[in-house]
Structure 1
C-alpha cells in the first residue's frame, strides 16, 4: 500500500513539474521576459539599455524612478492593468540599432524597445514588449492588444486619422562617407555637385536625391546616382571608392559606422537631412490608438527623461545623439497627406 501511494505521488510530482516547465517556456516565448538579475535592477529603479546588443550599442545602466504625478495621467484601464504593452514591428529580421534580437538569440533589444522600457518605468508600469511584423504592429494597436508602438514610426497626417502621437526622435537621413573623406553635406545640396552617391531604389531618400539631381542639372552641374542590390554591396562600393557617399536612414548608418570603427576603413556621417524634406523636420513618435489618452502621459514621461538626462544617455548608448529632440510633443505637425 505504501509503495502504491509513493508511486502515485511520484507521478503527480513529475506531471506538475512538466506542466510548470511548459508554462514557463510559453511565457518566455510570448513576452519580454528579463533575467532575474535584470528584474531585480528594474525593481531597484534601473533600466539597462543596449543590453545584449552585440556591439551595436554601448550597454548602459540608467537610473529612473516612477513619477506619481505622471502615473496619475494614465487612462484608468492602463493604470489598473499595471503594465504598458509596447509594440515593436521588427519581425522577421529586425534592424540594428532600432530593434533586433540580441546576442542571446532570444531577447529583443534596440533603441526602440529600450525607450519603451524607460517610459514604462517613469509611468510606474511593467513593460511588456511584443514583437511582430510591421503590419501586425498596427493591428495590435487597432485591436487594443497593444497600448503603444515604439517602432521608428514616422508622424504623418495620414496616420493621425487613426492614431495619436508622442514624438521622441528626429526622422533623419544621413550621408555615410569614408572617415578619410573631407566632404560634408552642410545641409546644402549644391555640395553634391560632381559627386557619386548611392541610394536605395523606391525609398524616400531616392525621391529627395533625384530632386536634387534635377536641380543641379538645371544649373549645369552633375550628380551621379548609383544603385546596388543590397546594403552589403553598397557598403563594399563605398569602401572600394566606387561611390563618394551613401544616402540612407540615419540610424542604419549610425550602426554601420560603429561596425566600421575598428576596421582598416572606418566611416563617418557627413551630415543629416530631414526625412520630410526641406519644409518640415520629420519626427519619429510613440503611436497609440486615437483618443486612447496615452499620447499625453507618454510625451510627459519622455519630457521627464529629457529634463533629467536619461534621454541623452539612451541616445548616446545607441549612437543616435544627432536625432535628439528638445521636447516631446503631442500630435506635432506630421508629413503632409501628399507625402505620407
Structure 2
C-alpha cells in the first residue's frame, strides 16, 4: 500500500450552495491511534459485573474492508487505522480498558452485538427509529451521504428523486442510503418515471471498477469515503448529497447499560480535545458533534 500526504477537497452542500473545504490526511503520520487518559467518571458508569466479551478489553466491531478515512489497514496490513478505530481507541482508553478491534462485515455486527460477541460496533452506523428498538446509541459524528460519478460523466447533479430515475446506482444493502434511494424510486414510479436500479457489490474494488467501466452510473454512500477517493484518484466527482443528515453512533446492545459509560467517554474526549484531533486528521471536521447524545431522534422518527 502506498502512503502519502493527501490533500482532500471535500465538497459539501450548504442549503443550495456548494462549499469547499480542504484538509490534509497524512496516512504515514496516522499509523498510530490517538490516545486518551482514563476518565474516572466514565469508568464509574460501567455497570457492575458487566460481562465484557473479553475480560479487561473493549471488543469493538469495525469495517473489515478498506474504506478510508473510516477504516483501513496500516502499512503492516494487520493494524486497523482510520477515524472509526481511532474513536474506538479513545473510548477504550477513557474506560480504562484495552482495545480489542475486530474487523468484520456490515451484515455481522447486528448479530454480534445482540449475542455479546462484541461490546460495541463503530461502523459508521446511522441512528434510525428501527435500530433503536434493538440497540442503544451514543453519537460521535453526523453522517453526510454523497452521490459520486465518474469524473467524465455527463451527470452533474443528483439532488432530488427525479435525478435518479433510470440510473444504475451502487448502494450498500441494509443501509440508510439504500432506504433513501428506494424511497426516491417509489416516488418516481408513482410519477411514471423510469425505475432506479440499485447495484450491490461485494467490495470497494468492485465498486470502483463498476464506476470506471461504465457498468453503473453512480455511487451513493458516506461522503467522507467518496470525497477521499475523489481526491486521491481524480477519477470520480461529487454531484450531490442525500436529503438527510443523520447521527452516526457507537452502537451497543439495548438496555445493557454500557451506552452511558461510552457516552461519558466520548463527551470527555470532546472536552479534552482528542476527539477533534481524530476528526481533523481524517478530514471529517465538518461532521463533528458538539456533544455525544444517547439515543437521539433518528431516521424515521
| TM-score (normalizing by structure 1) | 0.61
The separation in 1 between residues aligned to 2:169 and 2:230, in whole angstroms, is: 17
Instruction: Say if 2:125 is the partner of 1:118.
Output: no
Contact 2:57–2:97 (Cα < 8 Å) also in 1: yes
Report the equivalent of 1:273.
242
Deviation at 1:271, TM superposition (A): 4.7
Contact 2:33–2:81 (Cα < 8 Å) also in 1: no
Instruction: Say if 2:165 is the partner of 1:189.
Output: no
Instruction: Say if 2:198 is the partner of 1:231.
Output: no
1:26-65 counterparts in 2 under 5 A? Answer: 55=27, 58-59=30-31, 62=34, 64-65=36-37
Contact 1:86–1:116 (Cα < 8 Å) also in 2: no
1:2-81 counterparts in 2 under 5 A? Answer: 55=27, 58-59=30-31, 62=34, 64-78=36-50
Higher relative contact order (CA 8 A, sep 6+): 2
Give the length in aligned residue pairs: 265
Q: Which runs of 5+ in 1 are unaligned?
A: 1-52
Contact 2:62–2:84 (Cα < 8 Å) also in 1: no
The separation in 2 between residues aligned to 1:317 and 1:88, in whole angstroms, is: 22
Report the equivalent of 1:285.
249
Contact 2:58–2:97 (Cα < 8 Å) also in 1: no
Q: Normalized per residue, which structure has more helix?
A: 1
Deviation at 1:290, TM superposition (A): 1.7
Give the greater-gyration-radius structure (CA): 1
Tell me the C-alpha RMSD between the 2 structures. Answer: 4.1
| TM-score (normalizing by structure 2) | 0.68
Deviation at 1:226, TM superposition (A): 7.3
The separation in 2 between residues aligned to 1:118 and 1:156, in whole angstroms, is: 24
Q: Normalized per residue, which structure has more strand?
A: 2
Instruction: Say if 2:112 is the partner of 1:140.
Output: yes
Report the equivalent of 1:204.
179
The match for 1:322 among 275, 279, 286 is 286
Deviation at 1:298, TM superposition (A): 0.9
The separation in 1 between residues aligned to 2:135 and 2:266, in whole angstroms, is: 18
The separation in 1 between residues aligned to 2:28 and 2:231, in whole angstroms, is: 7
Report the equivalent of 2:132.
160
